[in-house]
Amino acid sequence: MPVYIESYKFMNTCSIYPLGDSAMTLDLGNCIDDQLNSRALTIYDWLGAHPLEGITDRIVAYSSVSVFYDTTGIRNRTAVTEWLLEAWQRTDQIPKQSDGREISIPVCYEGEYAPDLEQVARHTGLAAAELVELHTSIEYRIYMIGFLPGFPYLGKLDRRLEVPRKARPVPVIAGGVGIAGMQTGVYPLNSPGGWQIIGRTPLRLFDRHAYPPILLRTGDRVRFYPVSTADFMAWKP
């Protein structure tokens, strides 16, 4: 039976634990919360501004920051733990940053661009126009980028739009705007996906020829606005 290693735990508000032998996670609590996400971003930035030799990557998620390291570049795990702990302590007094940029995303909620809109309307008992109204009425926060290059996890959705994921993933075309649970997101690439697709944006969220290749970042605030099929087709980037 293994010895479970928790490197550090403080009053249930912060724990630091290994993610295998070459990465560690600083976890602020298992929940979707703007303040925790903002703190995670602040920690991510602090770590970037105070680099430790041998660190190969940093990833911020809903309420955590993970760092990946080259074991030979770092004397031991303790150094990484202390670095993360320092980041947590030093960011305690930093005021909540005015996160990210404001970004408006055009979405066509019509016809072939919205293959699951009817199904969602049936499930929620709302009319299509009401769905669009609810989906476009909120300014969402990007809690993290994951799943696919440039895929934003946005929340929180209006409760009335809460729908389950599909039982099985189906092909989704790039630009597909999906909802699932209390979240909404946009598929940057053609990919199998399990979210209910209620629209499509003509914007390119991922472009391998561009630098950076992704449009959105964790912490950005996003608003969707409806465009017609004609506008979608005539859209010039």
Partner 1 sequence: MSFSIIKAGLLDTIQDLGRNGFGNWGIPPGGAMDVYAAQVANLLVGNNRCEAVIEIHFPGPQILFEQNTMIAITGADFSPTVNDETIPRWQPVVVRKNTVLHFPTHVQGSRCYLSVHGGYCMKKWLNSFSTSLKAGAGGLNGTPLKKGDELPFNENTIYFAGLLKKEESNFEVLPWRVNSEKVYQFPHEIGVTPGHEWPLLTEASQAAFAENNFLIHPSSDRMGYQMKGNPLSLREPLELVSTAVSFGTVQLLPDGQLIVLMADHQTTGGYPRIAHVISAHLPKLAQLRPSDTIQFKWTNMEEAEHLLVSRKKELHILQRSCLDHLNEVVC
User: Tokens 């970042």 sit at which residue?
Assistant: 217
d(CA 18, CA 6) in angstroms, rounded, equals 7
Q: Which CB, 56 or 228, lies closer to partner 1? A: 56
Q: What is the DSSP code (8-state) at residue 160?
A: G
Residue 64's identity, in one-letter code, is: S
C-beta of 17 vs 82, nearer to partner 1: 17
- Dihedral over alpha carbons 189, 195, 201, 205 (to 10 degrees): -40
DSSP state of 193: E
Cα(56)–Cα(147) distance, integer angstroms: 20
Q: Tell the smallest beta-carbon distance from residue 21 to partner 1 (Å).
A: 4
Query: What is the distance between the alpha carbons of residues 4 and 227, in angstroms, rounded to a whole number?
Result: 52
Tell me which residues touch partner 1 (CB under 8 A). 1-5, 17-23, 25, 27, 30-32, 44, 56-64, 66, 68, 71-72, 76-77, 144-151, 153, 189, 191, 206, 208, 212-214, 218
Cβ at position 142, least distance to partner 1 in Å: 11
Name which of 108 and 183 has its Cβ closer to partner 1. 183
122 or 208: CB nearest partner 1: 208
Closest distance to partner 1 from the beta carbon of 68 (Å): 7
Minimum gap (Å) between residue 195 Cβ and partner 1 = 13
